[in-house]
Structure 1
Amino acid sequence: MNLKLVETAQEQEDAFSVRKTVFVYEQKVPIELEIDEYEKDALHFIGYVDQLPVVASRLRFVNGDGKLERICVLKEHRNSAYGKQIIQLMEDHIRQRGFKTAILNAQVHAIGFYEKLGYIGVSEPFQDAGIPHVTMSKQL
Structure 2
Amino acid sequence: MEIKQTDQLDNIYQDAREIRRHVFVGEQGINEADEFDGTDSDAIHFVAYQGGQPVATARTTVTADGVHIQRVATEKEYRHKGYAKQLLTTILQSPMFQDTPRFYLGAQATAIGFYETLGFKQYGQPFMEVGIKHVNMEKLVTS
1:103 aligns to 2:104 (yes or no) = yes
2:60 maps to 59
Which ranges in structure 1 are unaligned for 5 or more consecutive residues? none
AA aligned to 1:102 is F
3-state SS of 1:85 partner: helix
- Structure 1 residue 6: Cα displacement: 2.5
Q: Structure 1 stretches (4+) deviating beyond 4 angstroms?
A: none
AA aligned to 1:107 is Q
What's the RMSD between the two structures over aligned residues? Answer: 1.5
Could you tell me how far apart the structure 2 residues matched to 1:10 and 1:75 are? 21
Could you tell me how far apart the structure 1 residues matched to 2:63 and 2:127 are? 19
Could you tell me how far apart the structure 1 residues matched to 2:25 and 2:74 are? 13
Which ranges in structure 2 are unaligned for 5 or more consecutive residues? none
Query: Alpha-carbon deviations, 1:13-46, whole Å to 9, x = none?
Result: 1110001100000001111111112111100011
Query: Alpha-carbon deviations, 1:36-89, whole Å to 9, x = none?
Result: 121111000111111111111100112231011000101111111111111112
3-state SS of 2:19 partner: helix
Do 2:7 and 2:44's aligned partners in 1 also have CA atoms closer than 8 Å? no
Could you state the TM-score of these two structures normalised by the residue count of structure 2? 0.92
Aligned pairs, number: 140
Do 1:94 and 1:100's aligned partners in 2 also have CA atoms closer than 8 Å? no
